[in-house]
Amino acid sequence: MNDEQETQSKDNYFQQIAEISNAMSAAHGRDFAIGTLVLAARYVAQHAAPDGSDKAAEAPAGVVATI
């Protein structure tokens, strides 16, 4: 992936996160949306790749970690 593709990919994820955040806020309130995003960030931080890179280790789909 070249730099331009990587930038576009990241922009797409930011857009998706913004849309999900807005939907969560509208449905359940701002505190819920913030809490969910904090838990997601903690999950990513705690599940480092086995090789030590900054790429997240893959978890099975639908798995929710207890934090």
Beta bridge partners of 48: 56
Residue 45 pLDDT: 86
With a threshold of 0.75, does the pTM exceed it?
Answer: no
d(CA 12, CA 8): 6
Note the pLDDT tens digit of each residue in 14-67. Answer: 999 999 999 999 999 999 999 999 999 999 888 866 676 766 556 555 555 554
For the four alpha carbons of 26, 30, 36 and 42, in that order, the dihedral sign comes to: positive
DSSP string of 42-59? HHHHHSB-TTSSSSBPP-
Domain boundaries, the chain: 1-67
Burial 11-24 (b: 16+ CB within 10 A, else e): eeeeeeeeeeeeeb
